[in-house]
Amino acid sequence: MIRRAVIACACLWLTAAAAAHAPMAPADLDQRAGFDQRLGAQVPMDLHFRESDGPSRSLRQIANGKPMLLAMGYYRCPNLCDAVLHGLSHAVATLTLRPGQDFEVVFVSIDPREQPADAAASQRMLARAQPSAKVDQWHFLTGDETDIHSLARAIGFRYFLDPRNDQYAHAAGVVVLSAEGRVTQYMFGVDYPPRSLRLALVDASRGKLGSLVDQLVLLCCGYDPSTGRYSLLIGRVMQFIGIGFAIVLGATVLWLHRRRRTA
């Protein structure tokens, strides 16, 4: 559904295939792998996954009353997942909101064969590459096939294992969830503008996060599902300008009226 994410996936898939002399990507790649936007969908928060240090926890326990940034992929992915994780860590590193305290970052493996040791290795690698992103506060998860499919289906994440090269074909992106597990926004590709990411988290928190400036910006901006970005709503801005002008005009007339009566 989201062409840019699928195109990026296909390009990286073809690059990996050429490098490894593997078969070409399937002709129906864009039908079998991608994102279907399901804004407002409820993620089953009682699904259980294993943390990188071993314990099994539910998504509800992981969220702990905070909004979540959720990405899916797999730790042995040769190209795309590494780009997603680095793009996300670069954006999180620039936020004033703090992972583990204001929001949670969650990466779930789509490969049921992967183990917590695979997750821990990826977490250590990313922590060394981007120390300011506080990757040690992120959640790198593995799980069984049933729970993985349930989560992927809930957020509209389509993927498949190609038996010809034993690699997964999937799209790239991040899903923003409210503390209750509602899908609030999607951000596609591997580049996530920090300002949009911050606004998405503030919006998903229902005003619990962010400053007054963030709230005012959200009043003037709207989420565009076709791009996964925030854009200025000219009509709403003009409404605010009109209201402000009316208030100033009314105050001026009142002031002149009182001055005339005083004179």
Cβ proximity of 40 and 182 under 8 Å: yes
Report the SS3 class of residue 55.
Answer: coil
Cβ proximity of 233 and 222 under 8 Å: yes
Instruction: Write out pLDDT tens, residues 187-230.
Output: 999 999 898 898 889 888 886 665 555 555 555 666 566 555 65
Report the SS3 class of residue 50.
Answer: strand
Confidence of residue 54 (pLDDT cuts 50, 70, 90): confident
- Cβ density class 182-204: b for 16+ within 10 Å, e for less: bbbbbbbbbebeebbbbbbbbbb
173-177 and 183-188 as β-strands: parallel, antiparallel, unpaired? antiparallel
Instruction: Write out pLDDT tens, residues 96-145.
Output: 999 999 999 999 999 999 999 999 999 999 999 999 999 999 999 999 99
Q: Is residue 89 predicted with pLDDT exceeding 90?
A: yes
pTM of the predicted model, to two decimals? 0.75
**pLDDT score of 239:** 46
**pLDDT score of 252:** 60
The first and second tokens of residue 190, run together, are 């591997």
Instruction: Write out pLDDT tens, residues 172-192.
Output: 999 999 999 999 999 999 999
Report the SS3 class of residue 41.
Answer: coil
The first and second tokens of residue 14, run together, are 């073809």
**pLDDT score of 236:** 43
46 phi, psi to nearest 5 deg: -90, 0
Average pLDDT over all residues of the chain: 81
Instruction: Write out pLDDT tens, residues 5-17.
Output: 544 554 444 444 4
DSSP summary character for residue 159: E
Cβ proximity of 178 and 206 under 8 Å: yes
d(C-alpha 69, C-alpha 185), whole Å: 10
The mean-pLDDT minimum among 55-59, 90-94, 139-143, 258-262 falls in 258-262
220 in a labelled binding site? no
Instruction: Write out pLDDT tens, residues 228-255.
Output: 565 554 434 344 444 444 455 555 656 5
Cβ proximity of 147 and 111 under 8 Å: no
Q: Left (φ > 0), alpha (ψ -120 to 50) or beta: where does 211 sit?
A: beta
**pLDDT score of 110:** 97
